[in-house]
Amino acid sequence: MAEIAPKILAFDVFGTVVDWHGSIAAEVAQLFPEVDGDAFALAWREGYKPAMARVMSGELGWTRIDDLHRMILDDILPRFGLGALPENERRALNRVWHRLNAWPDSVEGLTRLKRRHTICTLSNGNIGLLTDMAKHAGLPWDCVLSAEVFRAYKPDPRTYLGVADVFDVAPAEVMLVAAHQDDLAAARQCGLLTAYIERPHEFGAARPKDVSPDPANTLHARDFIDLAEQLGL
């Protein structure tokens, strides 16, 4: 394992570093005891890929995730009996994505990985969202990179190749770390190394996810501490 020494570790964030489902379900359940927080979190996230597809197809101009999250929120509120929620409460609720909680191993794992590698985000989340989240959750990024910098969402090759370009390294000197095989496959197509992270409860404890290894990945790790150990840190 010691021979695998990427210079840059680029991390997917939602689901890989932070527990979006658990954080949103808990906040919604606290704010609105009558609402099913679990279903609410899933519905909000389900709108995410279709919304990005509208941007990438050109139907919408460049739009930040903050604004996509808000469009989806406005769309789902009536389904949960919250269609009358006032503007200021919608704005505040939309900011829940800025204060998602990290998985228990994230801060320790990132801190170890940072000792030798440059650790950055590579998320479709916007810069302001990712920066607020890092302050909230104590994530020690060396650099916050986002779809917003490259004006393209993953899995567009401009995002993966953009990381290599920003740091003036070859694609094979960058490793994408993610809990999603489709993200990793797209990065691999661009020549990046890939590390899959098991996050079996990304969609909630009641809905365990398939976390089987794909031999196409460079590494397969249980969590960030396991990844640090596999990289000799």
User: Among 187, 57, 174, which Cα is nearest to 118's?
Assistant: 174
Which of 149, 152, 172, 185 touches its own copies (CB under 8 A)?
149
Q: Which stretch binds its own copies (CB under 8 A): 71-79, 127-135, 184-192, 212-220?
A: 127-135
* Residue 3, φ and ψ in degrees, nearest 5: -75, -20
Choice between 25 and 93, CB closer to its own copies: 93
- Least Å from the CB of residue 78 to its own copies: 26
131 binds its own copies per the rule CB under 8 A: yes
- Tell me the C-alpha to C-alpha distance, in Å, between residue 111 and each of 76, 139, 175: 37, 8, 17
Residues 55-94, one symbol each (x = binds its own copies by CB under 8 A, - = not), give -----------x----------------------------
Counting contacts by CB under 8 A, is residue 134 touching its own copies?
Answer: yes
Which of 74, 165 has the CB closer to its own copies?
Answer: 165
Among 48, 101, 128, 230, binds its own copies (CB under 8 A): 128
Specify the stretch interacting with its own copies by CB under 8 A; choose among 36-44, 161-169, 177-185, 197-205.
Answer: 161-169
Alpha helices in the chain (DSSP H): 20-31, 37-46, 48-56, 65-76, 87-94, 106-114, 127-137, 147-150, 157-166, 181-189, 224-230
Q: Which stretch binds its own copies (CB under 8 A): 38-46, 101-109, 144-152, 224-232?
A: 144-152
Among 127, 172, 185, 211, the residue binding its own copies under the rule CB under 8 A is 127
3-state secondary structure at position 10: strand
What is the SS3 string spanning 180-228?
Answer: CHHHHHHHHHCCCEEEEECCCCCCCCCCCCCCCCCCCCCEEECCHHHHH
Distance (Å, rounded) from C-alpha 212 to C-alpha 188?
18
Please pick, from the candidates 32, 39, 161, 167, the single residue that binds its own copies as defined by CB under 8 A: 167
Confirm or reject binding of residue 166 to its own copies (CB under 8 A): yes
Return the exposure string of 117-129: e unless at least 16 CB atoms fall within 10 Å of the residue's CB, then b: bbbbbbbbbbbeb
3-state SS class at 75: helix
Tell me if 161 contacts its own copies by CB under 8 A. no
Give the interface with its own copies as residue ranges (CB under 8 A): 66, 118, 120, 126-128, 130-132, 134-135, 142-145, 148-149, 166-168
